Amino acid sequence: MKKILLTLTITILTLNADIENGKDVYAQNCGNCHRIDMKGGMGKDFNIVSYNRTKWEIMAYVTAPQAMYEQFGYDANAMPKLPLNDEQIRDVSEYIDSLQKFKKWMIK
């Protein structure tokens, strides 16, 4: 039931995402650990995340990392719960998703 509610919430939140605001959210909250230039970092480069994950998966993980870490194959302490509101989560997820136009799941 929790997964259904989380999926429904995430679907609703993605309707009005703002990539430019998401870029700002990234710079203020994510850039310390995650890079976008393939030059390393504590967390995965967001180009790799964008290629491997759907926007909905990204939103789910940012929303509740402690609930999603096993599904993503990460350690329980891989990412803290960030103090982001729903709009910021939606926007940063949209920004991350926009980094790669071609996705792993598109390969046949």
Q: 5 Cβ partners below 8 Å, 6+ apart?
A: none
Token pair belonging to 62: 């940012």
Give the global pTM: 0.79
27/76 Cα distance (integer angstroms): 24
Rounded CA-CA distance 49/33 in Å is 13
pLDDT in tens, 18-60: 999 999 999 999 999 999 988 878 889 999 999 999 999 999 9
CATH code for the domain in which residue 90 is found: 1.10.760.10
Determine the residue type at 41: G
Q: Which domain does 52 fall in, by range?
A: 2-106
> Residues 77-88: what's their mean pLDDT?
91
Closest CA to 6 of 69, 54, 51, 67: 67
How many domains does the chain fold into?
1
Residues 6 or more apart whose CB falls under 8 angstroms from that of 15 comprise none
Query: Taking the CB of residue 64, how many other CB atoms lie within 10 A of it?
Result: 13
